[in-house]
Amino acid sequence: MSTIFGFGHNATLIVWALVSIAFLVILIAKFKWNPFVTLLLAALALGFLAGMQPAAIIKSVTGGLGGTLGTIAIVIGLGTMLGKMMAESGGAERIATTLVDLFGEKRVHWAMMVVGFIVGIPVFFEVGVILLIPIVFIVARKTRMSLLQIGIPVLAGLSTVHGLVPPHPAPMIAIDAYKADLGKTILYSLIVGLPTAILAGPLFGRFIGARIAVEPPAKLAEQFASAGERKLPGFGITLFTILLPVMLMLIGSIANILDREATSGLTVFCEFIGNEVIALLIAVVFSFFSLGFARGFSKEDVSRFASECLAPTATIILIIGAGGAFKQVLIDSGVGNAIAAIATSAHVNIIFFAWFIAALIRVATGSATIAMTTAAGIVAPILAQTPGANVELTVLATGAGSLILSHVNDAGFWMVKEFFNMSVPQTLKSWTVMETILSVVGLMLILLLSMAV
């Protein structure tokens, strides 16, 4: 079944991928099937349609699920504990209250974009969502604004940094592959990234928030809710607690940039504490003291908070894992390579070419990091033979392409869907459109900037 209707092998693979995605969307959106089960079925169906051997399909499914959850499950667990401590202590309410007082209710969504942008610099997207989701819930409740009007700017800030702004690990992949200048890339990324995040964040968030009304998942909203009238912790200690993992990850990123070969013990130590799992673990333990014992909670209270907050995340973790399984079958079946092979036959502007390759691989595999890594490998030799090309802008174009059209094969899609309690169509209309705005507007600004530098 590897070829149909006389199409070449690559075109056939793409057709089967589209069929499996359509099958997935219809079963979940129209027939309300459980997303975890449906994602696994879609992954198996695609594997058979693409001509994979049964044993290889099972290996892809289990490997993709396990590989995705290897880090994310720990991150979600630790991040939820940190969010629970912020909620029970009143820390999340303190940050929300301070933001509302400082910026005013009508402008607080702009502040949320800035928070997402700053927090996202050293952390992966999933970590940023986990850290900030309690604040999103409480700010939306206190301002009585749409959850999406508050949440979309945060997501836009996090996602923009993920694709465009060094020293985030994803852009660093392309910087290394293209031999780009780090300083110039950072400068250009801010010139491109900030207006892009503004358009896709506060502006689009206000538009879509007025059209899609959603409420937080009841159990998560309950555990992140305020516990009545109480004296709130100080803004400084609360902010330090939530930014502690961000600072540790930033230390790790800087150490890696300054000493890429990790020749000193200090670099090894900084990279260790800068790992997202270790950084979050340190922050959670610190929160037990700063937002737990220091607030008068007993050791039994702190233990109970850490235990009871995990139950609502079980479904989210399974769905994200199944999304990883589907993504891995897409990769192992050759769909990503098929798209890349078709795209490389085109002769276009190198900046647009880098964006286009990354965009196609992103749509096929669902991973921005894989899209950037694969596209960098394809584009690098072509870029080396293109005299006069702006290497730094090509890095940004690759990053912008890796953000486009997040859909059902992306673990981030399911994370956003579950945390914001949306249906698949609602997630496509909000999150997917936001990601596409980031990608397309980013490309347009990159092309404009290429005319001036």
Which of 20, 43, 63 is the last residue before a domain boundary? 63
Q: Are residues 13 and 85 in the same domain?
A: no
Residue 5 is predicted with a pLDDT of 47
pLDDT in tens, 76-103: 788 778 878 877 888 877 877 787 788 8
Amino acid identity of 104? G
Which of 258, 286, 314 is the last residue before a domain boundary? 314
Residue 6 is predicted with a pLDDT of 46
Examine the pLDDT at 280 and tell me if it is beyond 80.
yes
Q: Are residues 440 and 404 in the same domain?
A: yes
Mean pLDDT of the chain: 82
The answer to whether 326 and 39 are in contact (CB under 8 A) is yes
Which of 63, 78, 101 is the last residue before a domain boundary? 63
What is the CB-side half-sphere exposure of residue 63 using CA atoms within 13 A?
12
Rounded Cα gap, residues 352 and 356, in angstroms: 6
Q: State the pTM of this model.
A: 0.70
Question: What proportion of the chain, given as a percentage, has pLDDT over 90?
Answer: 25
pLDDT in tens, 326-383: 778 877 888 767 766 665 565 678 899 889 888 887 887 777 777 776 677 677 777 7
Q: Are residues 202 and 219 in the same domain?
A: yes
Q: Are residues 41 and 175 in the same domain?
A: no
Residue 251: inside a domain: yes
Q: Are residues 81 and 54 in the same domain?
A: no
Lowest mean pLDDT among 1-5, 136-140, 314-318, 324-328: 1-5
Q: Are residues 95 and 205 in the same domain?
A: yes
**Domain tally for the chain?**
3
Residue 413: inside a domain: yes
Q: Are residues 342 and 422 in the same domain?
A: yes
Residue 272: inside a domain: yes
Residue 322: inside a domain: no
Residue 272 is predicted with a pLDDT of 93
Q: Are residues 131 and 265 in the same domain?
A: yes
* Bond preceding residue 153 cis, omega within 30 of 0: no
What does the CA dihedral 8, 397, 166, 66 come to, rounded to 10 degrees?
Answer: -20
**Overall residue count recorded for the chain in this entry:** 453
Rounded Cα gap, residues 82 and 240, in angstroms: 12
For tokens 């449906």, the residue is 38
What 8-state DSSP symbol labels residue 50? T
Residue 246: inside a domain: yes
pLDDT in tens, 155-178: 999 899 888 887 666 687 788 778
Residue 329: inside a domain: no
Q: Are residues 247 and 226 in the same domain?
A: yes
Residue 19 is predicted with a pLDDT of 87
Examine the pLDDT at 44 and tell me if it is beyond 90.
yes
Q: Are residues 282 and 370 in the same domain?
A: no
Residue 319: inside a domain: no
Q: Are residues 59 and 201 in the same domain?
A: no
Q: Are residues 15 and 125 in the same domain?
A: no
Amino acid identity of 406? S
413 or 17, which is more confident?
Answer: 413
Range of the domain at 46: 9-63
Residue 3: inside a domain: no
